[in-house]
Structure 1
């Protein structure tokens, strides 16, 4: 008989700001968390001082509930829920160190809002492809929610998407706490694609802001972007959706308007004249939209969806076309 694993035993794979925020949320409840971080100095610091020295360093880590480690296989021992919070560009390297047997039977959660570069696939696609995880055992965490506001215990909302609502409900219950409300959505791929797309749009909003476009233009840009997202996501995964729901429109709005948005920050710096590389170095954080826009652009070569905003961001970041030129072209496509 297979040993029953306690559903409150969780592994967090990743050491960034969103991983730290999720650790804080989960620690509000009666759980045990194995937390994998790549950097041994960060692990040692957390064990000694109860703080992540690199990200959200003001957040107190409850080391009675949280056990940090640099051994990913140790982190996966005797847990039933695994939450991946590694940038999409690096998740393949992490998964390469994990045999499929180490994830078998567990609920797998992606808190990664990006796509796999070169392969042009979602993180959930990679999990199914490389580790044979049934889609019914996979969930996605979406917003609208920023790690920085979680750190401040501001009222926040999470959307947990999955094909099996009973599985998504397990994850939502774990993430619900006194300052976070978590709801379930039966749209695994739609929510994940939307989370990818909103980062691309946030870069566009940042570029516009860096070029001194005002609130009026950004409002038009975001409303047009919502239509672009609907057309693209429906072309990839057709399903009846309420696009005004928090998992879609809400996540888009917070990413486009918040000063905490790293994608908006990247775009703002590029709009002000930074090279993409210089902006990435100064930010010292991964803006998922940078990689995602190339993936979406490549996918759309087959779909032929009208996506002027995505095309503009791609041209600026990868073809090195002047942001001011692309935004002037974009102006004419807005309605």
Structure 2
């Protein structure tokens, strides 16, 4: 039996715990809130996210004790919001991950450090990149809960790690495939949230599907320019781990980044949108990180800059989209 520690109590952590445990893995599930753990132990449901999913407590062991959750694990799956990764993991000793494989399911960057989650983990716990992986879509947790056909890509420079984790995920409604482009997949997962957020702003302002199609087309070019500047290597951005993940996040009703952006476009302040959603929109933090990284790279990134100007400079969404639409082709 594979032993997995799942870190995080959100919808994606819940969906992954469902898949892995139903495929026979033991999952020690770390959640921050004691009330959530007690609810899970009593009802076998996560009270906050995907509450229709029921867990077998002979396979899933909820806990608020982080060290206990990871102690016996062969695999660690990180599924906490990127903004909380450092405060959570800095409580652990530097040797805590020494003989473990670590897979990030986080589609964001470490705020302040402007660092990919896998880069932070490698640095903090002195891990070789061959012990690291990342989960990419296109896949929404809500559709996993409904057991709709879903596709995942596991990126890692170690082919055996990627393939092994794919095998743990595959079932009758989940297809999973390995890939070697760890950095490219992770950066693309970060940037697609920025695009979805900007598309949401446009939707909130009353722009239609025609504009969103052009926005997404230009976004692919923007992502390609950024990846070639920060991590140049041959990659096919039409693959599902890149384009597919971008499309589902930009268009889906389940996309929290699109929802967050739509609220901003309709006139909500950033703070009020965050409070009303009661969920983390990773794109909000990602915009600042990518903007800061691009100060040195100087890549042409009009979509990212428009989002940054709205969210961090306080520019009016309508005026900023008027500028952006003239730059798209």
Q: Does the pair score TM above 0.5?
A: yes
Moved segments of 4+, more than 6 Å? none
- 1:139 aligns to what? 133
Q: Which residue number corresponds to residue 43 of structure 2?
A: 49
1:164 aligns with 2:158: yes
Q: Structure 1 residue aligned with 2:76, among 76, 79, 82?
A: 82
Distance 2:39 2:310 in 1: 40
What does residue range 180-259 of structure 1 map to in structure 2 within 5 Å? 180-259=174-253
The Cα of 1:120 is off from its aligned counterpart by 0.6
Q: Secondary structure at the match of 1:35?
A: strand
2:104 to 88, 96, 110: 110
Gap regions ≥5 residues in structure 2: none
- Distance (whole Å) between structure 1 residues aligned to residue 205 and residue 181 of structure 2: 36
> Is 1:28 matched with 2:7?
no
Native 8 Å contact 2:96 2:125 kept in 1:
no
Contact 1:28 / 1:177 at 8 angstroms: preserved in 2? Answer: no
Q: How far does residue 78 in structure 1 lie from its aligned partner after superposition?
A: 1.5
Question: How many angstroms apart in 2 are the aligned matches of 1:296 and 1:170?
Answer: 31
Partner of 2:119: 125
Secondary structure (helix, strand or coil) at the match of 1:281 reads helix
Shift of 1:100: 2.3
- Consecutive unaligned residues in structure 1, runs of 5 or more: 1-5
Cα distance per residue 1:62-116 (max 9 Å; x no partner): 1110000000111012111100101110000111111122211111010000001
Over the aligned positions, Cα root-mean-square deviation in angstroms equals 0.7
Secondary structure (helix, strand or coil) at the match of 2:71 reads: coil
2:102 touches 2:133 (CA, 8 Å); kept in 1?
yes
**Is structure 2 residue 293 aligned with structure 1 residue 299?**
yes
Compute the displacement of 1:191 (Å): 0.2
TM-score under structure 1 length normalisation: 0.97
Distance 2:138 2:10 in 1: 18
Mapping of residues 50-69 of structure 1, within 5 Å: 50-69=44-63
Please give the alpha-carbon distance, in whole angstroms, between the structure 2 residues aligned to 1:164 and 1:291: 29
Alignment coverage as a number of residue pairs: 329
1:277 aligns with 2:271: yes
Report the equivalent of 1:3: none
Deviations 1:194-217 (A, max 9, x none): 000000000010001000100000
Query: CA shift at 1:170, angstroms?
Result: 1.0
* Distance (Å, rounded) in 2 between the aligned partners of 1:169 and 1:272: 44
Alignment check: 8 A CA contact 2:29 2:61 kept: yes
Residue aligned with 2:195, SS? helix
